Chains A and B, each alone.
Chain A
């Protein structure tokens, strides 16, 4: 059965304290892996797509990496405005247009 598991469920960091969020997956025929950010009361906002092992993408303080079994979202020197829930999702080649989501990591960055 296809699964997407995110850890930790919740993470509290002090401003400037770098860390990583994990997304592990067991999916046959992976076509891509997505990271989203969700603020309270809003819809998820797209961050990155990764397609193959070894790929990396960066945006401001965020860097996403992909291996054959998992993806990491690295947050460097986070700020309070980075506080949000971060969601990981995968897409299979056999069911394009359908995403399989993990439950998310709730990140809190305090000053």
Chain B
């Protein structure tokens, strides 16, 4: 199993550009989440999904969209990038069968200039 994979690892955007961060898992987990991590702020939840076709907002959803058309994939879209979205983004997945323990991807470091 590859676990949770994220692409790209690094990305630089200009203000106003849009892009999609990719996240995939091969563990058949029903739950998936997106976090951002900034110095001193810990992990903050952006959006999460409890299954294919079902998503919900977390603490900091503004400026981000998600969709979950398959169990495996959970892409995060930045609609119009802003410098405040400079951060490290982590995707995670979990399963009731594994007691909801979240398994994290390696992260995407995004810089918006």
Contact = CB atoms under 8 A, between A and B. Distances in A.
A97 interface: yes
Contacts, number: 63
Interface residues of B, number: 29
Interface of B: 4, 30-31, 33, 35, 40-45, 48-50, 56, 58, 90, 92, 94, 96, 99-107
Interface residues of A, number: 21
B104 A45 contact: yes
Given A44-B90, A45-B104, A103-B41, A32 B33 contact: no
B33 A43 contact: no
Q: Chain B at the A interface: mostly helix, strand, loop or mixed?
A: strand
A49 interface: yes
A46 B102 CA distance: 7
A87 B101 CA distance: 13
Nearest to B6: A43
Contacts of B102: 34, 44, 46, 89, 99
A46 B101 contact: yes
